[in-house]
Amino acid sequence: MSSHLIRPDLVTSQEGPYLAVAELTQSEARATSSHCHARGQLMGTLSGLISVGLDKQQWVVPANHAIWIPPHCVHSVRSYGPFSGWSVFIAEERCASLPREPRAIKTTPLLREAVRRAATWPDIELDEAQTRIAGVIVDELAAAKEESLGLPRPEDPRLVRITDALASDLSDHRHLDQWAAWAGVAPRTLSRRFVAETGLTFAQWRQQARLLRALELVADGIPVTTIALELGYDNVSAFIDMFRRVMGTTPGRYVTAGRIPDPT
């Protein structure tokens, strides 16, 4: 974010306690440009939503989720509207058991409570009790199941042309064959390259792009009807069905659970 959440040396060096926590509550959107730091960072949300740009992927982090950013991993951050969350910074030498690639996770009550406790500690070496709590945070991260909250970007220029066009107008209903003709590539080649470069089929990539954009628009307080139309759904019910299928709840209940201003 634009101001320091924690003592800079606890982010940029290995000195001091191996685990440090900062909390943040803000009423307006904020953003930071690309940067990296020596420590690994687990960035979590309590309410609202943030998006994180990592290499060739864009991730969103909705309420009660977090994203793990390994040491020295270049990233940018943007929040949407009112936001409350936290960051855990872990010394590189303690990251050996943690994922080597960025990962989105759903936070457990135990992890959130341990983080809340750790946020009250002074910036000095951990005592015995604090070390046990810090160990719980690291163990919870190491054991957490990966969540699909990222959108991979392909490298093939023809695929990039398509994904850029889709990202600028997610209501575009053209089928894979039509996109292939538009980009000058054979449909079978396009289908094969999409899976090879993103791990997703073309249809899955478009749905993921729509979902992540929907989360951003919900967090910005946009009415659900407007969101559905912007994303190309024929009616609100179809959009709500997609949202429920992927997120396990409706947009309205998601808003309430995440304490995001209700756009309905």
DSSP 42-89: EEEEEEEEEEEEETTEEEEE-TTEEEEE-TT--EEEEEEEEEEEEEEE
The pTM of the whole model exceeds 0.85 = no
Mean pLDDT, rounded, of the chain? 87
**Could you state, in order of their start, the residue ranges of all structural domains in the chain?**
9-147, 153-258
Q: pLDDT value at position 264?
A: 45
Q: Give tens-digit pLDDT for 143-197.
A: 999 988 888 889 899 999 999 898 889 999 999 999 999 999 999 999 999 999 9
| Percent of the chain residues topping a pLDDT of 70 | 92
- Lowest-pLDDT range, 76-80, 218-222, 256-260? 256-260
Please report, rounded to a whole number, the percentage of residues in the chain having pLDDT higher than 90: 52
Q: Which residues contact 176 (CB under 8 A, 6 or more apart)?
A: 187, 190, 191, 202, 203
Contact 135, 110 (CB under 8 A): no
Query: At 2, is the pLDDT very low, low, confident or very high (cuts 50, 70, 90)?
Result: very low
Fold of 153-258: Arc Repressor Mutant, subunit A (1.10.10)
Q: Which pLDDT score is estimated for 186?
A: 96
| Fold exhibited by the domain 9-147 | Jelly Rolls (2.60.120)
The residue with greater pLDDT, 27 or 127, is 127
Same fold for the pair 9-147 and 153-258: no
pLDDT on residue 26: 82
pLDDT over 90 (residue 41): yes
